[in-house]
Amino acid sequence: MNDKRPALPRLTNALATPAQLQESHTRGLTPSLISSLHYLGGSLIQIAGAILNFPDPAIATSAIIFHRFHLLAGFLEPPIRNTAAACIYIASKSCEIPLRPSAILAAVDTACEDPLAVGGKRIPRRKYSHANTETLDHWELRILTTLAFDMHVVTPYTLFLEYLVSMNVDKEREKTVAQRGWNYINDIMKTRICIFHQPNVIAVTAVWLAAREADVEMLDGEKWWEAFDVDTEDMGHVVLLLREGRDIATRERDRIVSGREPTLTVEEVKLRVVEEASLPSR
């Protein structure tokens, strides 16, 4: 426990160990349900963050804290809607962008009505009174202690821009790639990718995906990502998980469209476990 941080603290994040992953799969939830719940939470945080005008890197910080916490704590006790709010609360402190607890609660509540943004834009309904922040404080402490107060989070946005600039793409197209890549990172933050891969891997993959989509050829087909210490295998894994995230989004949206409730409370998670058990196994 007395180990100090490794030599590159400003570039690296704490990641999940294989043992932790294995354990997260022994709590009665299927891997696909676990991925879905991570995605729902990530999406909830992004919508609530947008309502709060929270900058993307701060939203990403909230999401990374969320994914780390649920890796260790699972989903059978902590309710997503409460932990999502608490993660935004913690990120607002560690990013020094203060938000009122009541505003966070109102925003998360609004986001919960449509956690996958199936409908249109939302407006926060009402302000909360001070008394309702007790639950928020509780989950804040639970998250902090579960993560040993290590709120050191590196988001990939600055690395992404830095890598992109160093690629010397012409200005007009650089802008397109920057926007698309930025959105890719936002999507990545909804998934668990950030507890599997370091920010440099995510940043490089975002550059690669955006460049490919915008039809920008980088360095004549050379393996330029190796210059940023990223190998093809890691990039492939990120792309795979990102695709899985999109499948989850479709699946969960279909559920909501077909009239079922999004799985946001512990009760709903339990019902979902039963529901999945009754389905024919894939």
Q: What gap in Å lies between CA 63 and CA 91, rounded to an integer?
A: 9
Q: In the complex, what is the shortest distance from the CB of residue 13 to other proteins, in angstroms, rounded to a whole number?
A: 5
Residue numbers 197-236 binding other proteins by CB under 8 A: 198, 200, 219, 222, 224, 226-231
Task: State yes or no: residue 186 binds other proteins (CB under 8 A).
Answer: no
Task: State yes or no: residue 273 binds other proteins (CB under 8 A).
Answer: no
Contact 173, 216 (CB under 8 A): yes
Picking from 54, 2, 11, 4, the residue whose alpha carbon sits closest to that of residue 153 is 11
Q: Which is nearer to other proteins, 133 or 263 (CB)?
A: 133
Q: Which is nearer to other proteins, 211 or 249 (CB)?
A: 211
Task: State yes or no: residue 247 binds other proteins (CB under 8 A).
Answer: no
Q: Which is nearer to other proteins, 52 or 249 (CB)?
A: 52
Q: If residue 175 lies in a helix (H) or strand (E), which one and from where to where?
A: helix 171-190
Rounded to a whole number of angstroms, the CA Rg of the chain reads 19
Task: State yes or no: residue 166 binds other proteins (CB under 8 A).
Answer: yes
Residues in the chain: 282
Q: What's 201-221 look like in SS3?
A: HHHHHHHHHHHHHCCCCCHHH
Tokens representing residue 104 in the block: 């966070």
| Number of residues near other proteins (by CB under 8 A) | 69
Task: State yes or no: residue 137 binds other proteins (CB under 8 A).
Answer: yes
Q: In the complex, what is the shortest distance from the CB of residue 33 to other proteins, in angstroms, rounded to a whole number?
A: 21
Q: Which is nearer to other proteins, 148 or 277 (CB)?
A: 148
Angle at 7 between CA 232 and CA 194, to 5 degrees: 45
Q: What gap in Å lies between CA 30 and CA 275, rounded to an integer?
A: 11
Q: In the complex, what is the shortest distance from the CB of residue 256 to other proteins, in angstroms, rounded to a whole number?
A: 29
Q: What gap in Å lies between CA 150 and CA 12, rounded to an integer?
A: 13
Tokens representing residue 4 in the block: 């100090």
Three-class SS of residue 166?
A: helix
Q: Which one of residues 138, 173, 243, 246 is an interface residue with other proteins (CB under 8 A)? A: 138
Q: In the complex, what is the shortest distance from the CB of residue 141 to other proteins, in angstroms, rounded to a whole number?
A: 5
Cβ-Cβ contacts under 8 Å for 27 (sequence gap 6 or more):
74, 75, 76
Task: State yes or no: residue 126 binds other proteins (CB under 8 A).
Answer: no
Q: Which is nearer to other proteins, 39 or 69 (CB)?
A: 69
Picking from 34, 36, 79, 30, the residue whose alpha carbon sits closest to that of residue 277 is 30
Residue numbers 86-115 binding other proteins by CB under 8 A: 89-90, 93-94, 96-101
Residue numbers 11-70 binding other proteins by CB under 8 A: 11-17, 20, 53, 55, 57, 68
Q: Which is nearer to other proteins, 69 or 249 (CB)?
A: 69
**Sign of the torsion angle spanned by Cα atoms 216, 217, 222, 227:** negative
DSSP 282: -
Q: In the complex, what is the shortest distance from the CB of residue 60 to other proteins, in angstroms, rounded to a whole number?
A: 13
Residues that bind other proteins (CB under 8 A): 1-17, 20, 53, 55, 57, 68, 71-72, 89-90, 93-94, 96-101, 133-134, 136-138, 140-142, 144-152, 157-159, 161-162, 166, 195, 198, 200, 219, 222, 224, 226-231
